[in-house]
Structure 1
Amino acid sequence: MISRAKNTPLSEWWWTVDKPLLFAVIALMVGGVVLSLAASPQVAERLDLDLFHFVNRQVMFLIPAAAVMFAVSMLNPRGIRRAALITFLIFWPAMILALFIGPEIKGAHRWLQLGPVGVQPSEFVKPSFIILAAFLFAEGARRDDIPGHFMAISLFGLVVGVLVLQPDFGQTMLIGIVWGALFFLGGLRWLWMGGLAGTGIAGIFLAYKVVPHVRERIVKFLDPGGNENFQGERAFESFVSGGWLGKGPGEGTVKRVLPDAHTDFIFAVTGEEFGIIFCLVLLGLFAFVVLRGLWHASNEEDAFARLAIAGLTMLFGLQSAINMAVNVQLMPAKGMTLPFISYGGSSLISLAFGMGALIALTRRRPRAKLEAGANPLPAGQLG
């Protein structure tokens, strides 16, 4: 047991951290390994890999992910900004590099191959971009001599421009919604908010018109009875097959023919083997993290911390909601993972970075330390 009397960084962290939020995130991380055991062996078998190939790799990635989350959660707000800036400066150029030397996977260049490990730089850009955007919006609202809003718009253009070139319209939509919400929370007027929403709708319409695979996914979604909607039909069939209580671990049959059962459609596999009730419990766990984060944001006095907490929470919550909505055929397929549950090293470690930052920013701190670490900095300084 960690004593309050010992004034060490670890004891200070333990007694100031939001333990319910921390344990909810840990439960999701552990749940990802358990559900990978249910969903991935059949996929590995189809690919002529070791039966527990994806499970072993999930555990392998979970170790550095847990270390990243713990290390980031011990930082103060200034340290969070510095970590976000360093992460962005490393992985945004890596996104551009992936366009030229990355392998083409399903028509997109989103990955860099580093030996036996594939890295998706955009996954690491997401949380760092949200933190930097929160800082710029906070500074822009606080100081007239800093063009924070203009810099946030420019930063958004840099990120979205590369995502569209990859192309990755799912991540573009996700980042766009969260960035727009931060802009609104940072003081954007309703009139301009309407214009921003109109621009987003126009972008979706343009993507439908000029990008074949976007149009194909939307057409499949609008015609669920068509022969082309194989993934959506199988995913929905999984929930019907599992019923309320599920068939039991390892007893699922639809997952044998469901593409991406260990990544995009792991929620459907969960429904077949563990049942709808278990899926609702999992949904409740995601909802708890989101509501807890938004509660902290609503009670936060510092502008940067408030916007960063809200942005990271929305990023986590929207990604979760989109993945589950796709699984139950409420949205077209997006190729987006279920946080901490779907298989994927880049996704797991980047989510750990984002949740580590969220846990750090929601820690209780004495007023003196809060003012030293969280108050906005002089013009142009992130650290």
Structure 2
Amino acid sequence: MPILSRADTSVVGRWWWSIDRVMLTALILLVGIGYVLALAATPATNIALSDPRTMVMIKQIVYLAVGAFVMIATSMLDLKQVKLAALGIGIIFLILTAFTLVHGVVIDGGRRWIALPGFTIQPSEFLKPALIIATAWLLAERRRTPGFPGMMAALGLNGLVLLMLLRQPDVGSTALVASTFLVQLFLDGLNVYWVGIAVAGFGAAGFAAFEFIAHVHMRVMLFLHPTKDKAYQAITALSAFGNGGLWGRGPGEGQVKHYLPDARADFVFAVAGEEFGLIVCLGIILIFAVIVLRGLARILRETDLFVALAASGLLVSFGLQAFINMASSLSLIPTKGMTLPFISYGGSAVLAVGLHMGFLLALTRKRNHAERAAERGAGATMQDRVA
């Protein structure tokens, strides 16, 4: 982007001088890595439009371009527009998520998708960032308006979404949404006693899932007692890192993508490890760390409670999702079908994470006192919460 004058008062000018350019650069790097791995994870022997694998690669490149556009466009919103956008998106995709329970497409045992001409969409992916922002608004508004039932509304809304995710079933997304909500409650001032109760509840829910949900039980047992035949995906993914070594086997030279059906999605990090080596994998981890730490640094200086709660929730969800994907590929935790943001294949995943990080960039933009007053009026502050 050309250098813009600080005197430029256009939307783009104000955006450029207020956006966190370090975080934006790191996110664009992830999009670039996603482009490279879209090529690397496609085991095509020739580039021909008649080859389905080539079409998958082209579709992913298009998804990445659209996802980057969505992220940048969303990052130009002010706080009021962020709230309105989240409200509209939340209502639409809450209805669509409920629709999947009745008429959703079943893939790998989960009824999470809606079939559209030429592609499928997973509404819950778009619902997550909207839910985080809606929760932050409800919790902050109850501090601003005495008598406003923000806590009860937030509990009810999150409970409804968690119930729908469990019905799909999508245990990973359920855990992710619940963890994010708990962090937001804690930052809002939830008593440590209730935090302990919630953590105990997480443990009980995890044990119940292990005992009563067959595929969860199987994945945990395979993690604890892996065998070559039954833990094929995890062992194959782990061996890919060993094959890649420090510098990798080279672009296109990896073999894991020929043997793992989820190589371009759940195990794309293993593809990166085999073809580009430990150095590139550490670089990917570093980029995610820069985004999370940079966001946390911005939040620590934030005085608006809504912004602090919304941005922290978005960061926790983003960072935890990346951790789960990479840790699964390294067999540090049981395998879980969760995408690596901007890198794994998937239209819904890429577009939703573009929206997700666009909201985060918009929330963490620098604002002067006049802009803050115009956007939030007499909104709640972190000092209000402490008081």
- Interval containing the TM-score (normalised by the shorter chain): over 0.9
**For 1:13 and 1:34, how far apart are their aligned partners in 2?**
28
**For 2:109 and 2:62, how far apart are their aligned partners in 1?**
28
Match of 2:174 among 158, 172, 175: 172
- Per-residue CA deviations over 1:148-194 (Å, capped at 9, x if unaligned) read 11111101111100000000000001111111011000010100001
For the structure 1 residues 152 and 43, does the alpha-carbon distance in structure 2 shift closer, same or farther, using more than 3 Å as the test?
A: farther
> How does 1:120-269 map onto structure 2 within 5 Å?
120-225=122-227, 227-269=229-271
Give the secondary structure class of the aligned counterpart of 2:115. Answer: strand
Alpha-carbon contact 1:326-1:333 (below 8 Å) kept: yes
Give the secondary structure class of the aligned counterpart of 2:294. Answer: helix
Q: Displaced runs of 4+ in structure 1, greater than 6 A?
A: none
**For 1:128 and 1:332, how far apart are their aligned partners in 2?**
28
- Per-residue CA deviations over 1:15-34 (Å, capped at 9, x if unaligned) read 11111111111110111011
- Per-residue CA deviations over 1:209-254 (Å, capped at 9, x if unaligned) read 2211111111111112353111100010000110011000011123
**For 1:369 and 1:76, how far apart are their aligned partners in 2?**
9
Deviation at 1:3, TM superposition (A): 2.3
For the structure 1 residues 193 and 250, does the alpha-carbon distance in structure 2 shift closer, same or farther, using more than 3 Å as the test?
A: same
Could you tell me which residue of structure 2 aligns to residue 323 of structure 1? 325
**For 1:44 and 1:286, how far apart are their aligned partners in 2?**
33
Indicate the percent of aligned positions where both proteins have the same amino acid: 42
For the structure 1 residues 220 and 375, does the alpha-carbon distance in structure 2 shift closer, same or farther, using more than 3 Å as the test?
A: farther
**For 2:208 and 2:44, how far apart are their aligned partners in 1?**
38
Give the secondary structure class of the aligned counterpart of 1:313. Answer: helix
Residue type of the alignment partner of 1:207: A
- Per-residue CA deviations over 1:126-165 (Å, capped at 9, x if unaligned) read 1111111111122234443111111111011111000000
**RMSD (Å) for aligned C-alpha atoms:** 1.7
Alpha-carbon contact 2:105-2:113 (below 8 Å) kept: yes
Could you tell me which residue of structure 2 aligns to residue 31 of structure 1? 33
Alpha-carbon contact 2:43-2:257 (below 8 Å) kept: no
Residue type of the alignment partner of 1:5: A
Gapped runs of 5+ residues in structure 2? 381-387
Moved more, 299-308 or 70-79: 70-79
Residue type of the alignment partner of 1:152: A
Gapped runs of 5+ residues in structure 1? 379-383
Moved more, 21-30 or 56-65: 56-65
Could you tell me which residue of structure 1 aligns to residue 16 of structure 2? 14
Could you tell me which residue of structure 2 aligns to residue 91 of structure 1? 93
**For 2:376 and 2:218, how far apart are their aligned partners in 1?**
46
Alpha-carbon contact 2:248-2:275 (below 8 Å) kept: yes
Deviation at 1:207, TM superposition (A): 1.3
Alpha-carbon contact 1:41-1:54 (below 8 Å) kept: no
Residue type of the alignment partner of 2:180: V
**For 1:64 and 1:376, how far apart are their aligned partners in 2?**
36
Match of 1:301 among 300, 303, 307: 303
Residue type of the alignment partner of 2:233: Q
**Structure-1-length-normalised TM-score:** 0.95
**Structure-2-length-normalised TM-score:** 0.94
Residue type of the alignment partner of 2:208: L
Deviation at 1:70, TM superposition (A): 1.8
**For 2:111 and 2:379, how far apart are their aligned partners in 1?**
37
For the structure 1 residues 226 and 273, does the alpha-carbon distance in structure 2 shift closer, same or farther, using more than 3 Å as the test?
A: closer
For the structure 1 residues 44 and 337, does the alpha-carbon distance in structure 2 shift closer, same or farther, using more than 3 Å as the test?
A: farther
Give the secondary structure class of the aligned counterpart of 2:42. Answer: helix
For the structure 1 residues 167 and 44, does the alpha-carbon distance in structure 2 shift closer, same or farther, using more than 3 Å as the test?
A: farther
For the structure 1 residues 239 and 376, does the alpha-carbon distance in structure 2 shift closer, same or farther, using more than 3 Å as the test?
A: farther
Residue type of the alignment partner of 1:135: W
**For 1:85 and 1:376, how far apart are their aligned partners in 2?**
21
Question: How many residues get paired?
Answer: 376
Could you tell me which residue of structure 2 aligns to residue 381 of structure 1? none
Could you tell me which residue of structure 2 aligns to residue 56 of structure 1? 58
**For 1:6 and 1:144, how far apart are their aligned partners in 2?**
40
Residue type of the alignment partner of 2:200: G
Give the secondary structure class of the aligned counterpart of 1:40. Answer: coil
Could you tell me which residue of structure 1 aligns to residue 385 of structure 2? none
Give the secondary structure class of the aligned counterpart of 1:41. Answer: coil
Give the secondary structure class of the aligned counterpart of 1:111. Answer: strand
Alpha-carbon contact 1:42-1:255 (below 8 Å) kept: no
For the structure 1 residues 8 and 272, does the alpha-carbon distance in structure 2 shift closer, same or farther, using more than 3 Å as the test?
A: same
Residue type of the alignment partner of 1:53: M
**For 1:159 and 1:135, how far apart are their aligned partners in 2?**
17
**For 1:299 and 1:91, how far apart are their aligned partners in 2?**
32
For the structure 1 residues 187 and 237, does the alpha-carbon distance in structure 2 shift closer, same or farther, using more than 3 Å as the test?
A: same
